């Protein structure tokens, strides 16, 4: 897997891919036997036939660039949604907690060799908020346990 470099020009798309890859490298699958990370951690919602919970979906929420005047700008902020779907509440909550722990650690990286860390890609964790959104999903006979983690990073690169 090639390592993704986050830049100001591609902040939205590259940060989604990079964070997905960081989570793929570090998250622990709750299924036994454990699956390949690309089979349960996605950049957007997969097609229904691919869903085998628990799954994690990383997508773009928003970007913010704050300017006081034309000469003074603050580092942009990027907000990402990390959505966890699970059959069991404890799996949903454990994965959500692990997501936040991984993304708070500035040394978390996307590959074993030659990978980038959150720090080297200029993504500085600012905050995370969690909300439960359990509900019925087409194709699943029982309530799906869903948690949304809104993660905000400051982008401190050029």
- List the domain boundaries for the chain: 8-155
Is cis: bond before 96, omega within 30 of 0? no
> Which position has the higher pLDDT, 53 or 157?
53
> Which position has the higher pLDDT, 104 or 67?
104
Give the count of alpha carbons within 13 A of 97, CB side only: 6
Rounded Cα–Cα distance for residues 153 and 63 (Å):
10
The predicted pLDDT at position 152 comes to 95
pLDDT tens-digit series, residues 75-93: 788 999 999 999 999 999 9
CATH of 8-155, one of 2.40.40.20, 3.30.70.1700, 3.40.50.300, 3.30.565.10: 3.30.70.1700
The predicted pLDDT at position 49 comes to 62
> φ, ψ for residue 29 (rounded to 5)?
-70, 140
Query: What are the DSSP E strand ranges found in the chain?
Result: 41-42, 55-64, 67-69, 72-73, 77-86, 123-132, 145-155
The predicted pLDDT at position 100 comes to 98
The angle that helices 89-104 and 11-26 make with each other, rounded to 10 degrees, is 120
Stated pTM of the model: 0.89
Rounded Cα–Cα distance for residues 51 and 43 (Å):
13
């Amino acid at each position: 897997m090639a390592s993704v470099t986050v830049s100001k020009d591609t902040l939205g798309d590259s940060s989604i891919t990079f964070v997905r890859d960081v989570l793929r490298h570090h998250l622990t699958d709750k299924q036994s036997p454990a699956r390949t990370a690309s089979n349960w951690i996605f950049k957007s919602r997969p097609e229904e036939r691919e869903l085998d919970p628990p799954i994690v979906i990383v997508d773009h929420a928003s970007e913010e660039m704050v300017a006081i005047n034309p000469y003074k700008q603050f580092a942009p902020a990027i907000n990402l949604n990390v959505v966890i779907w699970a059959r069991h509440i404890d799996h949903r909550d454990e994965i959500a907690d692990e997501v936040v722990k991984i993304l708070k650690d500035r040394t978390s990286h996307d590959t074993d060799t030659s990978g980038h860390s959150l720090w080297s890609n200029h993504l500085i964790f600012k905050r995370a908020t969690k909300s439960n959104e359990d509900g019925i999903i087409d194709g699943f006979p029982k309530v799906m346990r869903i948690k949304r983690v809104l993660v905000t990073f400051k982008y401190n690169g050029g």
